[in-house]
A and B are shown apart, each in its own frame.
Chain A
């Protein structure tokens, strides 16, 4: 909004300035057109049917509210009579009725929300129980007997697939190159395995599932030797992820006959302190002595660790 002096000054300026005169004319044109629109539509209003619908809806809402209020009053009356109390008749004002209606509406909303929350919580609980049952069915109790993992406080374990493999001496399998050997897999006991001690089972908490390996019956080959790719020694099914390289399996069964067959078992991924390498007679890089090292532990059905291989 301009004051009168500014307005007069602007109009005087427009008389001498073509640009401002043109702009003023455009603005006046627009203002005129907008005013004409407003005038043209001034007598427009909503059709009568809208009013009829609204009044009907208003009366219906009002009737429902009165019914609800009457029901509440009846309940309150019954309740007080049930308690033997005498109540003076109180006439609710319109404001009280509205407040009561709102409170009733709020109560209904809260009740609905509470029921929905309870249903959701129940469903979540059922889902959790189902998942837990499935998990415990998949991971037998023998998984908790990982020797190496306990020594190093390792937390990492792999969900286990049944292993159908056999351990028997077969030194000629060390140099295989990426193909699954058809002959029966064998385990060559490492020299250091005599020092490996199998400790009694202690519970440990599986931390993370990293990969799942399945060893075909009879196709896994465990042989001593230098660290090589897992694909050199195990079939495709037992091959770890391609970014990993693993050592040979090293037997952990001290003094047991090397040819003890292993019909089934589990492969558990664990994390060990690097010192475990030394305890198995493997070279240890002192500079990385604090870093943990990953390993796969082969467990028999009896829960004892049969062999271990290290993962890089």
Chain B
């Protein structure tokens, strides 16, 4: 049996275990982007994201027996492996301070220009879109600055649009924990964005008003 796009993840995994390189390639192409983005959004480093992606799929090849279909989908399992790898890398590199080398700076510029171009294409007002792209970069930085257990919930539920139940499976915690962490993480993000929001932002002007909490 040859791998085809109609195959489910589990079938592709079974073929992979049986030694079908095409099935492995198909499975990789189907799931690598999500894993890569998750790692990138969690750690902010393309190098680490590449390593994590590679390690996740090597783990799948080496220890495929660890995947239990009764506990969740293969995608959730892959996210879980990626999460463990990312946390391990973050813990390992916690003691190092990254220096902004030329390549990183260029990457950042390229991405920023990419964002700007993308936004500029989408709208006619370049100034508004520039402010918007700045806001996106600010939010991206704020997400990266969150504590890891809040960051992973934001990345999974907000950026990858996983359901609370799927996120709970990935994180190995209760759905209620996911909800409360997400609520707290959003509150932290709002707080940080208020601190860094530039003056003169019309849309933000409405949010400057911070009266007492409404108990209605």
Contact = CB atoms under 8 A, between A and B. Distances in A.
B206 interface: yes
A22 B24 contact: no
B136 A37 contact: yes
Nearest to B211: A19
Given A22-B207, A30-B139, A34-B158, A95 B213 contact: no
B127 interface: no
A51 B159 contact: no
Interface in A22-60: 22-23, 25-27, 29-31, 33-42, 44-47, 50-51, 53-55, 57-59
B135 interface: yes
B21 A55 contact: yes
A41 B54 CA distance: 19
A18 B212 CA distance: 10
Interface residues of A, number: 45
A42 B213 CA distance: 37
Contacts of A37: 41, 136, 139-140, 143, 159
B65 interface: yes
B53 A46 contact: yes
Contacts of B148: none
B61 A61 contact: yes
A50 B24 contact: no
Contacts of B194: 26
A90 interface: no
A98 interface: yes
Given A44-B33, A45-B33, A38 B57 contact: no
10 contacts: A18-B211, A19-B212, A23-B214, A29-B204, A30-B193, A51-B29, A51-B32, A54-B61, A58-B61, A95-B17
Interface of A: 13, 17-23, 25-27, 29-31, 33-42, 44-47, 50-51, 53-55, 57-59, 61-62, 65-66, 94-95, 97-98, 102
Interface of B: 16-19, 21, 24-25, 28-29, 32-33, 35-37, 40-41, 49-50, 53-54, 57-58, 61-62, 64-65, 114-115, 118-119, 132, 135-136, 138-140, 143, 154, 158-161, 186, 189-190, 193-194, 203-204, 206-214, 216
